């Protein structure tokens, strides 16, 4: 990329297919997608934020009140709109997106899906810290349970199995969202 393009309006990267980020709770695929978008100028779709906007309530509250299927119905609408964009965007999935087989198959068939991987122990730690600071954080994942390993590990193992179907895995370790997003942006 020539340096004079930095201040231009065109994206600094081009995708052939949408770049989709998924991960365990605490891996922050939506925030990471935002960082990638900031550094590249690519379009951004944060699925849980757009679902919350459509539902008129927080994503976790929607799942707690109306169930995962109601949220996934709205996610389908958000993703259909994202796929219709002229330029492929960077998409940060919710924790629940890959639970619906039709969504998972469509994403794997038409997008480049990357798993922001971390250990289950790291995910438990991140969820616990966030939930203790704000009990609303990860409420839908926890399902009202306390943020401890005994309650979280079975759920995290399930999400991990779904995410492992991704085309590529990026071990995020203890890196910040900014560091992971910057590394992804640089790789495009």
CA distance 187 to 52: 30
CA proximity to 20, closest of 156, 166, 182: 166
Q: Which of 18, 12, 16, 11 is nearest to 113 (CA)?
A: 18
Beta-bridge partner residues of 44: 90
User: Which residues are paired to 19 by β-bridges?
Assistant: 90, 112
**Chunked mean pLDDT (size 10), the chain, 188 residues:** 54 84 97 96 96 97 96 97 93 97 96 97 96 94 92 96 97 94 93
Provide the pLDDT for residue 3: 45
Q: What pTM does this model have?
A: 0.92
Alpha-carbon distances of 25 from 32, 109, 123, rounded to whole Å: 13, 24, 6
| Superfamily (CATH) of domain 3-187 | P-loop containing nucleotide triphosphate hydrolases (3.40.50.300)
Q: Residue ranges per domain, the chain? A: 3-187
Q: Tokens standing for 23?
A: 């991960």
């Amino acid at each position: 990329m020539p340096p004079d393009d930095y201040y231009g309006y065109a994206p600094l990267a081009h995708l052939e297919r949408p770049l989709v980020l998924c991960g365990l709770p605490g891996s922050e695929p939506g925030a990471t997608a935002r960082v990638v978008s900031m550094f590249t100028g690519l379009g951004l779709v944060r699925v849980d934020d757009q679902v919350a906007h459509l539902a008129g309530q927080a994503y976790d509250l929607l799942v707690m009140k109306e169930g995962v299927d109601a949220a996934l119905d709205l996610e389908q609408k958000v993703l259909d709109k994202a796929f219709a964009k002229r330029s492929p965007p960077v998409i940060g999935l919710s924790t629940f997106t890959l639970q619906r087989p039709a969504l998972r198959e469509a994403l794997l068939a038409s997008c480049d899906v990357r798993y922001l991987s971390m250990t289950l122990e790291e995910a438990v730690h991140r969820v616990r810290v966030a939930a203790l600071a704000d009990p609303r954080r990860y409420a839908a994942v926890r399902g009202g349970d306390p943020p401890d390993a005994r309650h979280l590990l079975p759920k995290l193992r399930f999400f991990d199995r779904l995410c492992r179907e991704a085309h590529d895995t990026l071990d995020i370790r203890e890196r910040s969202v900014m560091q992971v997003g910057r590394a992804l942006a640089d790789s495009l």
